Structure 1
């Protein structure tokens, strides 16, 4: 049996104490993009770029373990938009990130390779820890958040997201979670929620923490009870957590979706105010260069019809170019537009009169710090927020999983099995699981 096979068997047999005595494998399978293929999609529109052509499953050497780091045997991972961006080499090739990181120190030089092992989520078991790691040991069942920071300068010590060397693991660093083994900093680790399977536990990390900071944290919109929250893509990987946080926090979500099926998911979560933007036929852009303010007005009128005359206190933004003008218009006077992404385009346009004359605010929000991620994971562990996993693929089929997300042909989150041989494994707390099984399965088979 191979070294990885022995590790896998020990985990599946719940013999976690044996993990420390097993040899770390010299290599493992990881999902990669290749530096010499960075130009493969030149001349194609984004929608025509196919992640199945650029994402490979390669046997790669296990990286050297440095101080403050951990090697994790990955049982499962998940797809995020950053993996899609990596796979289609937009907006830039991620090898530029790896080259820049490689210049930082001799240790970070490990990341500057002709291949990039991608992925910013994982659940698994700690294999080894480096010098200076005290809170984690081999055999611990963990999930990982994706904030990679150096914290050698002063800027990040009030909020680690402001560290000058802040990066997203598996996107701006190498050795990510879509693999059988991953390298993380120890301060990325958090306890695996014990009522979830490996694939369920792997799916919330990036999007759950992002939604928590963007909506709940003082660093984001600082949502309060009774706030009307407009949520774009409310059944998607990110928006589904925003919808849960709004409902869990006593706010009033207005869920924007693109189909009756996605509307039904929001109803299953408990939302009542829903806009099917395709059914309503909103076209915020007349052409590639000009937006249609009359459509903003029609959209705002629809929101007020649903809320009894109230405009949104908070707009949860992530589509970007396509919706941003409407978002700035729709927010109430003194309201907040909080943005964490631009999946439809990075160059935003809006009418600034609606911003400055109505004292609105635009807040940029990017992932979350360790404390925010820990709090978000704690809510998952207590069954107050649920994973939104809808479908799981094998590691070999990661390209198809990424294509699903690229084409918005998915609901919630799409998972990927690594060392877990099948779905449904890894549950420790069956009593808590039974209590929340409907919420856990809300996105299944949709």
Structure 2
């Protein structure tokens, strides 16, 4: 039988990253001209959804019009052998992904409205998605695509399908829950997110839904790091540094924050001495953030913090590769400034046993905001020492020690946190 071909050529060479494509034929409406039997038997891709292998680069849609006067077929057309109703029209169309394709031929030769869209096949992500992550990965070409007539729907908190409030025509839906619903996304549906999309056309009431419903398994994102403040060691020679970090939300339910610390060695970063802390509660700050201060003592050096949330029981490996986006910038723990001072003899004892010798302490310095004390030892002839004057506050940056008899003296200085000058 002769055929008139409506040829649809799909160029898939640039999209080999997808194993399959899906052809959504929205409408194949045709009307009889009254000359005989319209025959659509060889219409390869009728209305509906068709799986297309990526190896296929050409899709042929056959459409023909003919009649036959053989009485056994009950045809009332003119007598004679099979003839075409009219000279057919062959149309070659190149269609790429995401294009809304419409052929509308209302004339007698091709009374057809044919609308189709070719989409790369997508699947729901296998891992959990949190509210800041894209629900579906972006297409490999890196472009946000609009497909006319495509509308996404979700199952709302009443168990009913409802159109998404925005992002119509977007395919794939490479946006986040926050993009769609905002920070109160949990109020719109229960449990995990169920999605589907549908196609409609202005010239038909037919609706075609996605070949499957997509269930996105959800979890709350780990809190976002807002700030990190290093704390110096107490003394310049001690190894008791720490740091405080703040995140944008509190922990919920059975959620824990697993924080792991890395120290910079000469060969690169590796686990710190006290590498991991399991955090079950955060401190509310006055600015709406929530903070935590590292509990273990840390030596001065360069560090990096990584963290994840965990619900319920279980552990997270310190070397979990999925932490790449949940880490701080490099930060440095510094030692405090050392306590230092200078001392000089102002004068010896003027008269025997008068006890009017003087020593001046000056340029006393250390960590900002700290006060200083001094202690005077008398050194005996056997080099043993005894306290001559116990810890005394400095009267200022410079101070004079009075009432010293003829002898050898040793002086120690410390700050109010007990850090000694060395």
**Greater Rg by CA:** 2
TM-score by length of 2: 0.21
Which one has a larger percent strand, Structure 1 or Structure 2?
2
TM-score by length of 1: 0.20
Q: Higher relative contact order at CA 8 Å, sep ≥6: structure 1 or structure 2?
A: 1
